[in-house]
Amino acid sequence: MSFPSASAKHAFIIGPTGQDGSYLADMLLGKEYEVWGCVRPRGQGRDLSNLLPETVDGLHWVEADINDSEALTSVLAQCQPDEVYNLAAMSFVPASWPSVLTAMETNAIGAVRVFEACRKACPEARVYQASSSEMFGNTPPPQDEMTPMHPVSPYGVAKLAAHRMAHVYRLSYGQFIACGLLFNHESPRRGN
C-alpha cells in the first residue's frame, strides 16, 4: 500500500469494481485524486472487467471486507481519505429473499461498520452512502427525501437501516455522511 501524497485529494471507494464504483474511480482519477479501491480479500470473488486498464493501474488497491471492522478501520487509518464512498452491497434485490441474513449483514451492518471505521480512523472524511429506491417499497411515485419509506424486501429493509443509521451518526458524532437515493440505472458496466 502506498501512502497519500500531501497535494492531492484522497478518496477511498468501497466497491470500485461495480457499475457505479468503476465510473466514480474513472472520474476521480480524471480529477487527479489519489484513489484507493477497497475490494474483498482474494478468493471472495473479484472481477476487474468493468474497469478501464488505466483505472486498474491508477488505483491503489487494498483488501478489506466491510464485515471485518478491524481490517476496514486499519486500511482507513493508513489511507487517511478526504472522501469515502460506500458502494459495496448485495445489489440484486431478488437474491435478498433466500439470503436475508447476508443482505442484512452486508447492506445494513456493513454500512454501520463503514461509518464506525470512519469515525475512528478518519473522522473528518466526507462519507457517501449508497441508499436505494427500494426503501420506498410500494409507495407510489413521485418519491423524494420526504416520501414515507415502507420497504417490501429484505434488501430494502437493510438499505433503510443503513440510511437511518447514517442520520444517527450525523446527529451523534457530527460526521459528514450523505446518502444518495439511487433508483435503477443502466450502463454497459452493469452486470446481468
Q: Where are the domains of the chain?
A: 31-182
pLDDT at residue 192 above 80?
no
Q: Stretch 154-177: mean pLDDT, rounded?
A: 98
Task: From the candidates 22, 33, 128, 134, give the one annotated as an active-site residue.
Answer: 134
Which residue, 115, 99, 124, is CA-closest to 161? Answer: 115
Task: From the candidates 33, 85, 128, 155, give the one annotated as an active-site residue.
Answer: 155
Cell triple for 62: 487494498
Task: From the candidates 132, 172, 173, 186, give the one annotated as an active-site residue.
Answer: 132
Q: What angle do CA 47, 49, 50 make, to 5 degrees?
A: 105
pLDDT at residue 168 above 90?
yes
10-68 pLDDT, tens digit per residue, is 999 999 998 999 999 999 999 999 999 999 887 665 678 888 889 989 999 999 999 99
Phi, psi of 143 (to 5 degrees): -125, 140
Catalytic site residue 116?
no
pLDDT at residue 91 above 90?
no
Catalytic site residue 134?
yes
Measured CA to CA, the distance from residue 149 to residue 134 in angstroms comes to 9
Catalytic site residue 132?
yes
Per the DSSP assignment, residues forming a β-bridge with 37 are 13, 61
From 3.40.190.10, 3.40.50.300, 2.30.30.140, 3.40.50.720, which CATH number describes the 31-182 domain?
A: 3.40.50.720
